[in-house]
Structures are given as structure tokens and as C-alpha cells.
Amino acid sequence: MTKPLVSFCIPTYNRDRYLDSLLQSLTQQLADFPHPFEVFISDNGSDDQTEAVAGKYVNDLPLRYKRHASNRGSAANYQYLMDQAQGEYLLYVADDDCILGDRVAEIIELMKANPSVGVAYAPWKLYDLVADKDQGQFYQQDRDVLIPQGQQHMLLDTLLRNNIFPEIYICRRQLIRSVMPSVPEQAFYAFVHSSEFVNKTDVLFLKDPYYVSVTNYFPDHQRNQNGITETETAWDRYRGGLEFILGRASTQISQMERVGYNLRIQDMIAQRMSVAVRLRMASQRPPIETYYLAYRLKAMGAEQMLHVPLSTLRSQAALSFLLTDTELNRDITELVFVGTYEPEFRVRVSEGQHRKVRFVASCALLGKLHPHALVMLRGQASDLEGIDDGGAHIVLESDLLAKYPI
């Protein structure tokens, strides 16, 4: 095989069906690719048909396949690929996404003509393969932007101005070897990497994509997308990555500018937290943690970014606590709700419940309770006077709601 100029680096683990579709796409997208290239697959010890799938394409693509004996973890697999790739230019391709070959070739020519540019970032298209529908692209910028080497404050301004998440890029192998990028725990890796890159080279942010993120692949299978899961939980890492860049830019800006950047970082993180709340609700994540995330937006003065009222999240958290708290529910065999409750509430409480559920209009109709009953009263404590509780655990709804202020 001719020494490659470009390496398409694909980490994979137990997704043979998706890898098969990607490799089929690459045979089409790279059929007329004007530069020598390799398709470098690093298999994290898959126990499905990944190796056989790769073998199907050895005559159609200049393919190099490495299977590890065990799962090294996604970060280690990524680092292995970028370190062992043989091309002068490297680009990552997820095993369930694809690229636009003509556009990649244009960017390679652009970087060849501009040797001071070590890395070129781009947004990515979103595409539903099942519906055959273009869903736009992730982040927008109105023009190409060049960040000169060392200009950390310009990098930060560009990221914040366009809400850029610098995850998709084409870079020179020499730059990777020099920077030795890793995946830290406390700061989002993509922000950290962009700061490390601009410390060594000019960095280009392109407005037009070359990468396609597939949102829906097969009609009979919905996969978990790492990006969505990360968005639900990674807001503090996002903040950490942006603050890392701000720290490196501290000698290039005034104290007043630093305050301004901190406020802009706060605004961007608030936007991501509001998206996290929406995704968590759509995925039916534990309501209590979703409430606390939303309440942080209130503390930041950004409650208006929530797509539902905080009072709704408070009610869901209070009910979740009532139904799931370990001590409150220890040895409980019956749930009793006293007062007037909406039909939707009754359905929500009863669905999937293995214990007896009873709704009673008033305390006067309760009768004697047994010690393994958990009772919620929508009313006043005085309403319980004269009731034979039988040792049952009685909770006032007002006390529950007080745990979760709005």
C-alpha cells in the first residue's frame, strides 16, 4: 500500500452492523479521493462480527485493522488510533457516522496550501437515514475564522460567539505527536485540545461541514448516542474546558475582559444545562436529579431557559421521593393518597406499582390504617386529628413540596 497522506481513524466496539454501513459509505465517498489514504480501524476487543465485517472491505478500501485483546476504553482507543495512524493528515470518524469525501479533499488542499494551519475544525451535518432527511447542522458560523498561534483569547471568543463544540477536525499528525492530547476528567477534552493546538499552531474554524452525524440509522434499532448522554451530564466539564482556555488567556486580557468572559461562559453553560434538562425529561431520567439541575439555572438567573416550569419539575421530584426513598418506603405494602387528585396523577402513581394503591377523598373515609401503609395527605395536619393511624407513616404533601422549593 502506498504511504497514505490521509488517515481515516475509526474506533469501534461491538457495532458490526453500523461499521458495515460506514465502510459501505466510505467506498462511495472515497472512490475518487485524490490523495493516498488509509482507513484505520481500531477494534476495542469486539465479540460480534466486527472483524468479519472489516474483512469484507479489504479489496474495496486501503484498510488497516487492529483488534485489541480486550476493551481498552474509548479514550485509550482514540489515543491509540491517533498515535498509530500513518497519514500526514488525520481525521476521526465514529463507526456510526460518515464523511463527505469531496469536502475532505478540499480541506486537505487548503491545509497543504497553508502550512501554518495545523488543524481545521468544522461543524457537522445531522442526518436521519431512516427518513432520508437532512436535519441541519450542529452549530453555525457565518464565515471561516483563523485563530493565529498563541491567541487563546481569540479562540475563546470564537467558541463562545458561535457556541462551537470543537469535536470534529482534520489535523496534522505532527501536531498530534507534539501535543499528545489526552482526555481529562474535569475539563471537556475538545475545549482542552483546541487550547493545546492553538498554543502550537494556527487553528482554522471552517463554516461548512465535511462530517455527517447520523441521528437514526436503522428502522428496527435505536442506539444510545454518546453525544446525547454526555449532554445530560457534562455541563461542569464544559465549564472546566472553557475556564481552562480562559486561564491560558489570562495574560492577554484585562481584568474587566476576564469578568466579561466569565459571564459569557456562564451563559453558554446555562444554555447547555437547559438542554440537559430537556433531554433528561425526554429520556425519563430520575426526576430528583433533573430538578436539582434545573434549580441551578434558577440560581444563575436563567430559569427562563427551562422548557417547562420549575413548579412542574418540583412536583415530579416530590412524587419521586415519596415513591422511591429507601427509608420512607421500607416495608411499605400499601400507598394511600388522601384528598382530591387529578386523573393524570392517579395514573402516574399506579403505573408499574407492585404495591396496593388507594385513593381516599378525605380523612373521615380512611378507616384504620395498618403499620405498613404510606399515606400522603393533600391538606392540613389538623385534618388527621382523631384518625387511627395504626402506626402508618403519614406525609403531608406540603412538607414534601417544601423539600423542593421553586
Model pLDDT for residues 266-317, shown as the tens digit of each residue: 999 999 999 999 999 998 999 999 999 999 999 999 999 999 999 999 999 9
| CA 393 from centroid of its chain's CA atoms | 40
Q: Cα(138)–Cα(166) distance, rounded to whole angstroms?
A: 11
Q: Pick from 216, 241, 265: which residue ends a domain?
A: 216
Whether 192 and 65 map to the same domain: the answer is yes
Q: Pick from 216, 237, 272: which residue ends a domain?
A: 216
Whether 199 and 341 map to the same domain: the answer is no
Whether 204 and 338 map to the same domain: the answer is no
The confidence score (pLDDT) of residue 220 equals 76
Q: Cα(117)–Cα(109) distance, rounded to whole angstroms?
A: 12
Q: Establish if 199 belongs to a structural domain.
A: yes
Task: Please tell me the total count of domains within the chain.
Answer: 2
Q: Pick from 164, 182, 216: which residue ends a domain?
A: 216
* 8 A C-beta contact, residue 212 and residue 134: no
The confidence score (pLDDT) of residue 230 equals 80
Whether 210 and 335 map to the same domain: the answer is no
Specify the amino acid at residue 71: N
pTM of the predicted model as reported, rounded to 2 decimal places:
0.88
CA separation, residue 284 to residues 139, 225, 277, 290, 316 (Å): 26, 16, 10, 10, 11
Q: Establish if 246 belongs to a structural domain.
A: no
The confidence score (pLDDT) of residue 386 equals 72
Residues 6+ apart with CB under 8 A from 150: 198, 199
Q: Establish if 57 belongs to a structural domain.
A: yes
Q: Establish if 252 belongs to a structural domain.
A: no
* 8 A C-beta contact, residue 366 and residue 387: yes
Per-residue pLDDT of the chain (406 residues; tens, 9 = 90+): 579 999 999 999 999 999 999 999 999 999 999 999 999 999 999 999 999 999 999 999 999 999 999 998 888 898 899 999 999 999 999 999 999 999 999 999 999 999 999 999 999 999 998 888 999 999 999 999 999 999 999 999 999 999 999 999 999 999 999 999 888 889 999 999 999 999 999 999 999 999 999 988 888 766 666 667 788 888 899 999 999 999 999 999 999 999 999 999 999 999 999 999 999 999 899 999 999 999 999 999 999 999 999 999 999 999 999 999 999 999 999 999 999 999 999 999 998 889 999 999 988 888 888 899 999 999 888 887 777 778 899 999 999 999 999 9
Length of the chain: 406
Q: Establish if 35 belongs to a structural domain.
A: yes
The confidence score (pLDDT) of residue 363 equals 86
Range of the structural domain that residue 352 is part of: 327-402
Output the nine-digit C-alpha cell for 359.
385513593
Whether 194 and 53 map to the same domain: the answer is yes
Question: Could you tell me whether strands 89-92 and 124-128 are parallel, antiparallel, or unpaired per DSSP bridges?
Answer: unpaired
Q: Establish if 168 belongs to a structural domain.
A: yes
The confidence score (pLDDT) of residue 223 equals 61
Q: Which of 73, 72, 110, 104 is nearest to 91 (CA)?
A: 104
Whether 332 and 210 map to the same domain: the answer is no
Q: Establish if 362 belongs to a structural domain.
A: yes
Q: Looking at residue 40, which CATH number applies to its domain?
A: 3.90.550.10
Residues 6+ apart with CB under 8 A from 6: 33, 35, 36, 37, 38, 87, 88, 89, 90, 91, 104, 108
Q: Establish if 307 belongs to a structural domain.
A: no
DSSP reduced 3-state for 119: strand
b/e sequence 147-181, b meaning 16+ C-beta within 10 Å:
beebbbbbbbbbbbebebbbbbbbbbbebbeebeb
